[in-house]
Structure 1
């Protein structure tokens, strides 16, 4: 990590925050418990409406109201160190730009932009899409999420994005070590461009390779472990890095029951942090699935701040 020499908006831990939902699948204002969980762990940066935040399926009017409320509350809780990113999805550039414009009410510190969804596009078209976000006056983070977008950011496209003055870096959730190393090569050549690792099983490795930060979904469950991981890398404590990574990897087992955003919501509900309700058409976990998830969390033997009630009467 190079945070001491070149401070960057992607330094450290960015938590891709879940969006608490009311019954019916609309964003709820009931997220103070989750934000205070982040604050106690020492988190500064939250990323709203990403994949864990179900941003691609929330109407823009609801997303904007939620982002404005959450950003204001987070800044009141965290103080001057608070940072807020907003995430923008859209099947086309015009839709994505409209969504970004509506989210400016949150006064974001950066906008995280995903490639267009649904249609497959040429590299030139994808470059045009990202170039279109140059007028918002805040740093833009490119979001590589090929599993959902169908439009991966390739090494050649990455070079083009890094040459755009408004693109400050990339959140890479592609899962390829080879691509991440190429992104780090760009970062090394262009220090204003940062890389944040989204692959939860390779967080420590990426930081040791020089990534500026991490953006792990499990940061919702265990933000303190993520902060400790970054600090261990900064201290060059390899044994501690390995131990923390092992714990964070164990937590990804929540997706062994029914994977996806419903799993994270259900796990957080067991901590008493958010309702288990996901956005439609996702369905909440059944009572049987919740018991299986409770057992999974118990068996990980990872110490979570809020604690998980034991399954089947175990303690």
Structure 2
């Protein structure tokens, strides 16, 4: 199954007592897939995985997996990436559970390009599922040039890359000029320009709010419907910017709650709920679609 299209990194809905709202998670997963998403990401950053118990994490994965199976969609599961041995153990637990694993470039340690390449070479060789390399240097502190990005994508066992550099920079342009398969936009506001350069799709928190339109945008760029793609991309970027006006996923959760799709807008500390003004603006923009 080729890695392409729009993938929604699911939020984790909470009930009024702070517990996991499993029924709401199930409904949300199915809504996104019925709207055309190619897959779901469970336990991505948007899902607040660091605040979940082991039991809650299992429930999130099982719920998303069931929805993906029934819709013939891809399930990607996020795994921690700071330590190679621990990451390998997390990957082993995904055998028979997920289609791909989203693995962060090792954060904070700044292992260097050679260390990052060695890390993913070892993981890919032993993983029961293909990897999606998550490159987000403004979180990890580890920049990577186009050369090592190419080598990562060329590894056996690597299905693609979530590219979240915060800019359409020279390395991104050089990488996409090679036409590699499986590069997904990870910065929501940069989806349209990266699709124009050849990205295969995106992993986008704001796609919770207008899934069909994000799918439509990816299809338009793929089909070469340039005028429509540009116009729709300009509209969607306003929604994406509003969705990230406060730390993710607080605004997205606020809008989903206002729409009646999840029972509360609650997030777990250290995150705080989004302010009324930020939620109101994103809700109004979502209503335009």
Bin for the TM-score computed over the shorter chain: 0.7 to 0.9
1:283 aligned residue (252, 268, 272): 272
2:145 aligned residue (154, 157, 163): 154
Structure 2 gap segments, 5+ residues each: none
Q: Cα gap change, 1:196/1:65 in structure 2, threshold over 3 Å: closer, same or farther? A: same
Instruction: Select between 214-223 and 92-101 the one with higher mean Cα deviation.
Output: 92-101
Give the distance between the partners of 1:249 and 1:210, measured in 2 at CA.
18
Structure 2 length as normaliser, TM-score?
A: 0.87
Q: Cα gap change, 1:58/1:116 in structure 2, threshold over 3 Å: closer, same or farther? A: farther
Cα deviation for residue 175 of structure 1 reads 2.1
Give the distance between the partners of 1:168 and 1:74, measured in 2 at CA.
18
Alignment of 1:95 with 2:69, yes or no, is no
Question: Aligned-pair RMSD on alpha carbons?
Answer: 2.4
1:210 matched residue in structure 2 = 198
Give the distance between the partners of 1:119 and 1:85, measured in 2 at CA.
25
Do the aligned residues in 2 keep the contact of 1:115 with 1:149 (CA within 8 Å)? yes
Give the distance between the partners of 2:115 and 2:16, measured in 1 at CA.
39
Q: Cα gap change, 1:113/1:17 in structure 2, threshold over 3 Å: closer, same or farther? A: same
Give the distance between the partners of 1:279 and 1:267, measured in 2 at CA.
17
1:303 matched residue in structure 2 = 288
Alignment of 1:197 with 2:189, yes or no, is no
Residue 15 of structure 1 aligns to a residue in which SS? strand
2:42 matched residue in structure 1 = 48
How many residues were matched structurally?
Answer: 284
Q: How does 1:79-118 map to 2 (within 5 A)?
A: 81-104=72-95, 107-118=97-108
Do the aligned residues in 1 keep the contact of 2:95 with 2:129 (CA within 8 Å)? no
Alignment of 1:182 with 2:174, yes or no, is yes
1:74 matched residue in structure 2 = 68
Cα deviation for residue 283 of structure 1 reads 2.4
Give the distance between the partners of 2:120 and 2:55, measured in 1 at CA.
23
1:307 matched residue in structure 2 = none
Residue 56 of structure 2 aligns to a residue in which SS? helix
Give the distance between the partners of 1:48 and 1:265, measured in 2 at CA.
16
Structure 1 length as normaliser, TM-score?
A: 0.81
1:120 matched residue in structure 2 = 110
1:311 matched residue in structure 2 = none
Cα deviation for residue 196 of structure 1 reads 1.0
Residue 129 of structure 2 aligns to a residue in which SS? coil
Q: Cα gap change, 1:254/1:66 in structure 2, threshold over 3 Å: closer, same or farther? A: closer
